Protein backbone atom coordinates (compact mmCIF):
# COMPACT_ATOMS: atom_id res chain seq x y z
CA UNK A 1 0.00 0.00 0.00
CA UNK A 2 1.36 3.39 -0.92
CA UNK A 3 1.46 6.02 1.79
CA UNK A 4 -1.29 8.59 2.15
CA UNK A 5 -0.77 11.77 0.17
CA UNK A 6 1.05 14.57 1.94
CA UNK A 7 0.23 18.27 2.09
CA UNK A 8 2.13 18.57 -1.20
CA UNK A 9 -0.12 16.13 -3.05
CA UNK A 10 -3.75 15.19 -3.07
CA UNK A 11 -5.18 11.70 -3.50
CA UNK A 12 -8.43 11.53 -5.47
CA UNK A 13 -10.25 8.23 -5.86
CA UNK A 14 -12.88 7.23 -8.38
CA UNK A 15 -16.15 6.13 -6.78
CA UNK A 16 -18.10 5.52 -10.00
CA UNK A 17 -17.63 5.91 -13.74
CA UNK A 18 -21.22 5.62 -14.95
CA UNK A 19 -24.76 5.83 -13.60
CA UNK A 20 -25.09 2.10 -12.90
CA UNK A 21 -21.53 1.41 -11.78
CA UNK A 22 -20.91 -0.98 -8.89
CA UNK A 23 -20.83 0.41 -5.37
CA UNK A 24 -18.63 -2.24 -3.72
CA UNK A 25 -15.31 -1.11 -5.28
CA UNK A 26 -15.97 2.44 -4.07
CA UNK A 27 -16.51 1.14 -0.54
CA UNK A 28 -13.30 -0.86 -0.79
CA UNK A 29 -11.36 2.17 -2.00
CA UNK A 30 -12.68 4.32 0.84
CA UNK A 31 -11.74 1.64 3.35
CA UNK A 32 -8.17 1.06 2.17
CA UNK A 33 -7.18 3.74 -0.34
CA UNK A 34 -6.22 6.51 2.10
CA UNK A 35 -8.06 9.10 0.02
CA UNK A 36 -8.50 12.83 0.48
CA UNK A 37 -11.39 13.08 -1.99
CA UNK A 38 -13.67 10.76 -3.93
CA UNK A 39 -15.32 11.62 -7.25
CA UNK A 40 -18.39 9.75 -8.51
CA UNK A 41 -18.83 10.45 -12.22
CA UNK A 42 -22.31 9.16 -13.13
CA UNK A 43 -23.62 11.37 -15.91
CA UNK A 44 -23.83 10.82 -19.66
CA UNK A 45 -25.78 12.79 -22.23
CA UNK A 46 -28.54 10.19 -22.32
CA UNK A 47 -28.80 10.05 -18.51
CA UNK A 48 -29.26 13.77 -18.06
CA UNK A 49 -31.88 13.78 -20.83
CA UNK A 50 -33.65 10.87 -19.17
CA UNK A 51 -33.69 12.61 -15.81
CA UNK A 52 -34.93 15.87 -17.35
CA UNK A 53 -37.88 13.91 -18.75
CA UNK A 54 -38.44 12.15 -15.41
CA UNK A 55 -38.59 15.49 -13.63
CA UNK A 56 -41.53 16.58 -15.80
CA UNK A 57 -43.72 13.98 -14.08
CA UNK A 58 -42.00 14.12 -10.68
CA UNK A 59 -40.43 17.55 -10.01
CA UNK A 60 -38.68 16.28 -6.88
CA UNK A 61 -36.79 13.70 -8.97
CA UNK A 62 -34.33 14.29 -11.78
CA UNK A 63 -31.19 13.05 -10.04
CA UNK A 64 -29.34 9.82 -10.78
CA UNK A 65 -31.49 6.84 -9.66
CA UNK A 66 -28.73 5.14 -7.63
CA UNK A 67 -28.05 8.29 -5.61
CA UNK A 68 -29.81 7.06 -2.47
CA UNK A 69 -28.10 3.68 -2.56
CA UNK A 70 -24.65 5.16 -3.08
CA UNK A 71 -24.98 7.71 -0.31
CA UNK A 72 -26.21 5.13 2.19
CA UNK A 73 -23.19 2.96 1.39
CA UNK A 74 -20.56 5.69 1.21
CA UNK A 75 -21.49 8.41 3.70
CA UNK A 76 -20.47 6.54 6.90
CA UNK A 77 -17.01 5.93 5.44
CA UNK A 78 -16.75 9.45 4.07
CA UNK A 79 -17.32 10.76 7.59
CA UNK A 80 -15.07 8.16 9.26
CA UNK A 81 -12.15 8.70 6.88
CA UNK A 82 -12.56 12.46 6.48
CA UNK A 83 -13.02 12.18 2.71
CA UNK A 84 -14.96 14.79 0.75
CA UNK A 85 -17.17 13.74 -2.16
CA UNK A 86 -17.68 15.42 -5.53
CA UNK A 87 -20.32 13.99 -7.87
CA UNK A 88 -22.47 14.90 -10.84
CA UNK A 89 -25.32 12.67 -9.64
CA UNK A 90 -27.44 15.82 -9.43
CA UNK A 91 -28.17 15.37 -13.15
CA UNK A 92 -31.24 17.53 -13.89
CA UNK A 93 -31.87 18.44 -10.24
CA UNK A 94 -28.70 19.17 -8.21
CA UNK A 95 -30.56 21.06 -5.47
CA UNK A 96 -33.03 18.22 -4.99
CA UNK A 97 -30.13 15.78 -4.97
CA UNK A 98 -28.42 17.73 -2.18
CA UNK A 99 -31.51 17.37 0.03
CA UNK A 100 -31.69 13.65 -0.76
CA UNK A 101 -28.00 13.21 0.11
CA UNK A 102 -28.52 14.78 3.52
CA UNK A 103 -31.67 12.72 4.14
CA UNK A 104 -30.04 9.41 3.19
CA UNK A 105 -26.94 10.18 5.24
CA UNK A 106 -29.10 10.77 8.31
CA UNK A 107 -30.78 7.41 7.71
CA UNK A 108 -27.42 5.67 8.23
CA UNK A 109 -26.39 7.79 11.21
CA UNK A 110 -24.36 10.52 9.50
CA UNK A 111 -25.68 13.78 10.88
CA UNK A 112 -25.06 17.28 9.52
CA UNK A 113 -23.53 16.22 6.22
CA UNK A 114 -23.20 19.53 4.41
CA UNK A 115 -23.83 19.77 0.65
CA UNK A 116 -23.13 22.38 -2.00
CA UNK A 117 -25.23 22.18 -5.17
CA UNK A 118 -23.82 23.52 -8.44
CA UNK A 119 -26.42 24.85 -10.89
CA UNK A 120 -26.28 26.85 -14.11
CA UNK A 121 -25.68 24.15 -16.71
CA UNK A 122 -29.32 23.94 -17.84
CA UNK A 123 -29.62 26.21 -20.90
CA UNK A 124 -32.81 24.79 -22.40
CA UNK A 125 -34.87 27.95 -21.87
CA UNK A 126 -32.13 30.10 -23.38
CA UNK A 127 -32.02 27.98 -26.51
CA UNK A 128 -35.78 27.91 -26.86
CA UNK A 129 -35.66 31.71 -27.17
CA UNK A 130 -33.28 31.50 -30.14
CA UNK A 131 -34.69 29.05 -32.69
CA UNK A 132 -32.75 30.86 -35.43
CA UNK A 133 -29.39 29.54 -34.17
CA UNK A 134 -27.55 27.47 -36.73
CA UNK A 135 -26.37 23.96 -35.82
CA UNK A 136 -22.61 23.51 -35.94
CA UNK A 137 -22.74 21.23 -38.97
CA UNK A 138 -24.61 23.96 -40.85
CA UNK A 139 -27.34 21.60 -41.98
CA UNK A 140 -30.30 23.25 -40.29
CA UNK A 141 -31.43 25.64 -37.60
CA UNK A 142 -32.10 24.83 -33.95
CA UNK A 143 -35.81 25.30 -34.64
CA UNK A 144 -35.93 21.92 -36.36
CA UNK A 145 -34.87 20.17 -33.13
CA UNK A 146 -36.94 22.06 -30.58
CA UNK A 147 -40.06 19.83 -30.73
CA UNK A 148 -37.91 16.81 -29.84
CA UNK A 149 -35.46 18.49 -27.47
CA UNK A 150 -35.42 16.77 -24.06
CA UNK A 151 -32.64 18.79 -22.44
CA UNK A 152 -29.86 21.24 -23.24
CA UNK A 153 -26.89 21.62 -20.97
CA UNK A 154 -23.64 23.53 -21.09
CA UNK A 155 -20.51 21.75 -19.92
CA UNK A 156 -19.37 23.62 -16.82
CA UNK A 157 -15.72 23.53 -15.84
CA UNK A 158 -13.45 22.99 -12.86
CA UNK A 159 -13.84 26.54 -11.58
CA UNK A 160 -17.35 25.86 -10.25
CA UNK A 161 -16.14 22.72 -8.46
CA UNK A 162 -13.33 24.70 -6.83
CA UNK A 163 -15.80 27.38 -5.73
CA UNK A 164 -18.21 24.79 -4.31
CA UNK A 165 -15.46 23.08 -2.33
CA UNK A 166 -14.41 26.46 -0.97
CA UNK A 167 -17.76 26.64 0.87
CA UNK A 168 -16.47 23.86 3.12
CA UNK A 169 -19.19 21.43 2.06
CA UNK A 170 -18.65 17.74 2.74
CA UNK A 171 -20.33 16.87 -0.57
CA UNK A 172 -20.44 18.82 -3.84
CA UNK A 173 -23.23 17.72 -6.18
CA UNK A 174 -23.47 19.03 -9.72
CA UNK A 175 -25.35 18.63 -12.94
CA UNK A 176 -23.49 18.71 -16.24
CA UNK A 177 -19.87 19.40 -15.39
CA UNK A 178 -17.33 17.99 -17.85
CA UNK A 179 -16.07 14.65 -16.57
CA UNK A 180 -12.35 15.56 -16.22
CA UNK A 181 -13.32 18.91 -14.69
CA UNK A 182 -14.76 17.16 -11.63
CA UNK A 183 -11.27 15.88 -10.78
CA UNK A 184 -9.41 18.98 -11.94
CA UNK A 185 -11.64 21.13 -9.72
CA UNK A 186 -10.56 19.11 -6.69
CA UNK A 187 -6.88 19.57 -7.52
CA UNK A 188 -7.40 23.29 -8.18
CA UNK A 189 -9.07 23.72 -4.81
CA UNK A 190 -6.60 21.63 -2.83
CA UNK A 191 -3.52 23.28 -4.35
CA UNK A 192 -5.13 26.68 -5.00
CA UNK A 193 -4.07 26.56 -8.65
CA UNK A 194 -4.80 29.58 -10.80
CA UNK A 195 -7.23 29.22 -13.69
CA UNK A 196 -4.57 30.57 -16.07
CA UNK A 197 -1.87 28.09 -14.98
CA UNK A 198 -2.24 25.98 -18.08
CA UNK A 199 0.47 23.34 -17.43
CA UNK A 200 -1.19 22.47 -14.12
CA UNK A 201 -4.66 22.62 -15.68
CA UNK A 202 -3.46 20.15 -18.30
CA UNK A 203 -2.05 17.84 -15.61
CA UNK A 204 -5.29 17.84 -13.64
CA UNK A 205 -7.32 17.36 -16.80
CA UNK A 206 -5.41 14.29 -17.95
CA UNK A 207 -5.65 12.87 -14.42
CA UNK A 208 -9.41 13.34 -14.55
CA UNK A 209 -9.62 11.91 -18.05
CA UNK A 210 -7.83 8.77 -16.88
CA UNK A 211 -9.97 8.36 -13.76
CA UNK A 212 -13.40 9.31 -15.11
CA UNK A 213 -14.36 5.83 -16.37
CA UNK A 214 -13.44 3.89 -13.22
CA UNK A 215 -12.66 0.29 -14.18
CA UNK A 216 -11.79 1.13 -17.78
CA UNK A 217 -8.43 2.32 -16.43
CA UNK A 218 -7.97 -0.87 -14.42
CA UNK A 219 -8.48 -3.21 -17.37
CA UNK A 220 -12.17 -3.02 -18.31
CA UNK A 221 -12.35 -2.50 -22.05
CA UNK A 222 -8.62 -3.21 -22.32
CA UNK A 223 -9.20 -6.89 -21.56
CA UNK A 224 -9.05 -9.40 -24.43
CA UNK A 225 -8.64 -12.86 -22.86
CA UNK A 226 -5.91 -14.81 -24.59
CA UNK A 227 -4.29 -11.64 -25.93
CA UNK A 228 -4.48 -9.00 -23.22
CA UNK A 229 -4.99 -10.66 -19.87
CA UNK A 230 -6.46 -8.86 -16.88
CA UNK A 231 -6.25 -10.59 -13.49
CA UNK A 232 -9.54 -11.11 -11.64
CA UNK A 233 -11.57 -9.42 -14.36
CA UNK A 234 -14.82 -10.03 -12.49
CA UNK A 235 -13.54 -8.02 -9.52
CA UNK A 236 -12.01 -4.94 -11.12
CA UNK A 237 -11.02 -2.26 -8.62
CA UNK A 238 -11.48 1.49 -8.94
CA UNK A 239 -8.37 3.65 -9.42
CA UNK A 240 -7.02 6.74 -7.70
CA UNK A 241 -4.51 9.47 -8.56
CA UNK A 242 -1.95 11.38 -6.55
CA UNK A 243 -1.55 14.90 -7.94
CA UNK A 244 1.29 17.07 -6.64
CA UNK A 245 1.28 20.84 -6.33
CA UNK A 246 3.64 21.01 -9.31
CA UNK A 247 1.27 18.93 -11.45
CA UNK A 248 2.97 15.55 -11.29
CA UNK A 249 0.38 12.78 -11.64
CA UNK A 250 0.63 9.17 -10.52
CA UNK A 251 -2.28 6.76 -10.95
CA UNK A 252 -2.69 3.49 -9.13
CA UNK A 253 -4.99 1.04 -7.42
CA UNK A 254 -5.00 -0.57 -4.01
CA UNK A 255 -2.51 -3.40 -3.73
CA UNK A 256 -4.00 -6.87 -4.17
CA UNK A 257 -7.23 -5.75 -5.85
CA UNK A 258 -8.54 -7.01 -9.19
CA UNK A 259 -7.49 -5.63 -12.54
CA UNK A 260 -4.29 -3.96 -13.68
CA UNK A 261 -2.91 -0.46 -14.20
CA UNK A 262 0.10 -0.10 -16.47
CA UNK A 263 1.33 1.79 -19.49
CA UNK A 264 -0.98 -0.12 -21.82
CA UNK A 265 -4.23 0.40 -19.88
CA UNK A 266 -3.39 4.08 -19.35
CA UNK A 267 -2.66 4.61 -23.04
CA UNK A 268 -5.98 3.10 -24.09
CA UNK A 269 -7.92 5.19 -21.59
CA UNK A 270 -6.02 8.35 -22.58
CA UNK A 271 -7.34 7.92 -26.14
CA UNK A 272 -10.93 7.44 -24.99
CA UNK A 273 -13.36 10.01 -26.48
CA UNK A 274 -10.48 12.05 -27.91
CA UNK A 275 -11.48 13.51 -31.28
CA UNK A 276 -8.14 15.16 -31.91
CA UNK A 277 -5.29 14.23 -29.54
CA UNK A 278 -3.41 17.41 -30.42
CA UNK A 279 -6.47 19.58 -29.73
CA UNK A 280 -8.56 18.03 -26.95
CA UNK A 281 -11.16 20.65 -26.06
CA UNK A 282 -12.44 20.92 -22.48
CA UNK A 283 -14.15 23.80 -20.63
CA UNK A 284 -10.87 24.46 -18.81
CA UNK A 285 -8.19 24.17 -21.48
CA UNK A 286 -7.38 22.88 -24.93
CA UNK A 287 -4.83 20.15 -24.45
CA UNK A 288 -2.17 18.58 -26.68
CA UNK A 289 -1.70 14.89 -25.83
CA UNK A 290 0.76 14.08 -28.59
CA UNK A 291 3.74 13.93 -26.23
CA UNK A 292 1.98 12.24 -23.31
CA UNK A 293 4.11 9.50 -21.83
CA UNK A 294 3.53 6.90 -19.11
CA UNK A 295 6.22 5.32 -16.96
CA UNK A 296 5.59 2.25 -14.81
CA UNK A 297 7.07 2.90 -11.38
CA UNK A 298 5.93 -0.45 -9.99
CA UNK A 299 3.04 -2.88 -10.25
CA UNK A 300 -0.24 -0.92 -10.44
CA UNK A 301 1.62 2.38 -10.11
CA UNK A 302 2.07 4.56 -13.21
CA UNK A 303 3.64 8.04 -13.45
123-132 confidence digits (pLDDT tens) = 999 999 999 9
d(CA 289, CA 281): 11
Strand boundaries in 111-175, DSSP class E = 115-117, 171-173
What's the pLDDT tens digit per position in 168-217?
999 999 999 999 999 999 999 999 999 999 999 999 999 999 999 999 99
Burial of 86 (0-12, 13-18, 19+ CB in 10 A): buried
d(CA 160, CA 177): 9
Give me the sign of the Cα torsion angle 15, 16, 19, 20. Answer: negative
The order of strands in the sheet holding 296-298 is: 115-117, 171-173, 84-87, 37-40, 9-16, 240-244, 249-252, 301-302, 296-298
pTM of the full predicted structure? 0.95
299 falls in which pLDDT band (50, 70, 90)?
confident
What's the pLDDT tens digit per position in 37-89?
999 999 998 899 999 999 999 999 999 999 999 999 999 999 999 999 999 99
Farthest-apart Cα atoms in the chain, separation: 57
Amino acid sequence: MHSKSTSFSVRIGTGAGMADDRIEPAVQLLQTGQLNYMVCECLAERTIAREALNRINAPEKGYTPMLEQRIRALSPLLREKGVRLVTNMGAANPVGAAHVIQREARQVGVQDLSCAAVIGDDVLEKLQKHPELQLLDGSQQLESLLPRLASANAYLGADVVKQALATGADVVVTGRVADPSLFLGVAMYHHDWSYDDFPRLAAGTIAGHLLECSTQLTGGYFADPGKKEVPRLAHLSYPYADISFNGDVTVGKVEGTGGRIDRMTCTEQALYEIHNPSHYITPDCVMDLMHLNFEEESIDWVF
